[in-house]
Amino acid sequence: MDKIAQELLLGRAVSYPTQYDAALLFPIERADARRLLGHDGPGLPFIGWDLWNAYEMSWLNPAGLPRVAILRVHVPCDSPRIIESKSFKLYLNSYNQTRFGSTQEVLTRLVEDLSRAASAPVEVTLVDAQALLAESIREFDGLNLDLNDHVEIDTYEPDAGILLLASDGDIVSESVFSRLLKSNCPVTGQPDWACIQIEYSGARIDHEALLRYIVSFRLHSGFHEHCVERIFTDIMAACRPEALSVFARYTRRGGLDISPWRATPGMPAPQIARSARQ
């Protein structure tokens, strides 16, 4: 990541823009990280998206009166690129003192700019802050792995070899979650915190081993999207479930939170909701 770190806005002091500027967006190719996971051929072994929630979206109407909204962006996982987070924040800040003729004009600009940066169509929604009152905070369903507080941990770098199948050999369909996923920004080293839900059908996965594996990301440097794809890939390779869904809700930083979801084809998309930590 050294070369990326030299190029990205994330690790440098920058001036905040005063007028709309789409050139602030900095795309990052997904292919480099996926190649390390063995996904360098045609097609992907998963479906999914990256959900971005931006809580600091504002612009001026024609009279100069500020408008505010929550920006919600779905980036498809088969887009060739992700968007570096600080460049995304700077781009959104460039709207703050810019006058637009209508909310629709703002939405059109967002769709065009973000789709161009991701090299794929993205879904963009502007949510009125009042409408959020209808969206309740909802935690993940399923078995809480974190209750296994007797589990001994001694590995803090990802290791797929930690994953094991349960000794009972049972075939199950279950949902488990943990609030203990932590990784680090590959540019600044700042901590990224997340709650992760894993749903699968197949031979039962050993819960203690799965918790150790999740915690093993604690010192790992990786973008949110790449971490979730690694978790999905490692579980598929080590445990071979018939169906698998991995969904991580990362805590917001700088007014943005990111929730990547990856799953085998046919798995239903998770419900859009925020955890208390977001």
pLDDT digits (tens, 9 = 90+) for 95-146: 999 999 999 999 999 999 999 999 999 999 999 877 766 677 888 999 999 9
**Torsion sign, CA atoms 201, 207, 212, 217:** positive
**Torsion sign, CA atoms 146, 147, 149, 152:** negative
Domain boundary among 134, 166, 198: 134
Question: What confidence category does residue 273 fall into, taking pLDDT thresholds of 50, 70 and 90?
Answer: confident
**Domain total for the chain?**
2
Burial class, 149, CB count within 10 angstroms (exposed 0-12 / middle 13-18 / buried 19+):
exposed
Question: What confidence category does residue 277 fall into, taking pLDDT thresholds of 50, 70 and 90?
Answer: confident
93 lies in a domain?
yes
148 and 62 both lie in a single domain: no
268 lies in a domain?
no
273 lies in a domain?
no
pLDDT digits (tens, 9 = 90+) for 1-56: 344 444 555 555 667 788 999 999 999 999 999 999 999 878 899 999 999 999 99
231 lies in a domain?
yes
| Residue 39: how many other CB atoms lie within 10 Å | 16
Q: Write out the residue range of the structural domain in which residue 255 sits.
A: 143-263
User: Taking each helix axis from N to C terminus, what angle separates 207-215 and 224-239, rounded to the nearest 10 degrees?
Assistant: 150
123 and 201 both lie in a single domain: no
| Six-digit token string for 158 | 């990802």
169 and 125 both lie in a single domain: no
Q: What is the mean pLDDT of residues 217-233?
A: 97
Domain boundary among 134, 166, 195: 134
pLDDT attached to residue 132? 67
Catalytic residues: 185, 192
Residues forming a β-bridge with 209: none
103 and 213 both lie in a single domain: no
278 lies in a domain?
no
**Cβ atoms of residues 215 and 153 within 8 Å:** yes
Query: What CATH code is carried by the domain that includes residue 188?
Result: 3.30.1130.10
Regarding beta strands 123-127 and 256-263, do their DSSP bridges make them parallel or antiparallel, or are they unpaired? unpaired
65 and 102 both lie in a single domain: yes
69 and 118 both lie in a single domain: yes
161 and 248 both lie in a single domain: yes
21 lies in a domain?
yes
**Cβ atoms of residues 148 and 211 within 8 Å:** yes
pLDDT digits (tens, 9 = 90+) for 53-101: 999 999 999 999 999 999 999 999 999 999 999 899 999 999 999 999 9
pLDDT digits (tens, 9 = 90+) for 166-213: 999 899 999 999 999 999 998 888 999 999 999 999 999 999 999 999
122 and 170 both lie in a single domain: no
77 and 167 both lie in a single domain: no
181-192: b or e for each residue (b if 16 or more CB lie within 10 Å)?
Answer: bbbbbbbeeeeb
| Residue whose C-alpha is closest to residue 265's, from 48, 62, 110 | 48
CA dihedral 60, 65, 66, 68 (to 10 degrees): -100
pLDDT attached to residue 7? 53
Domain boundary among 110, 134, 158: 134
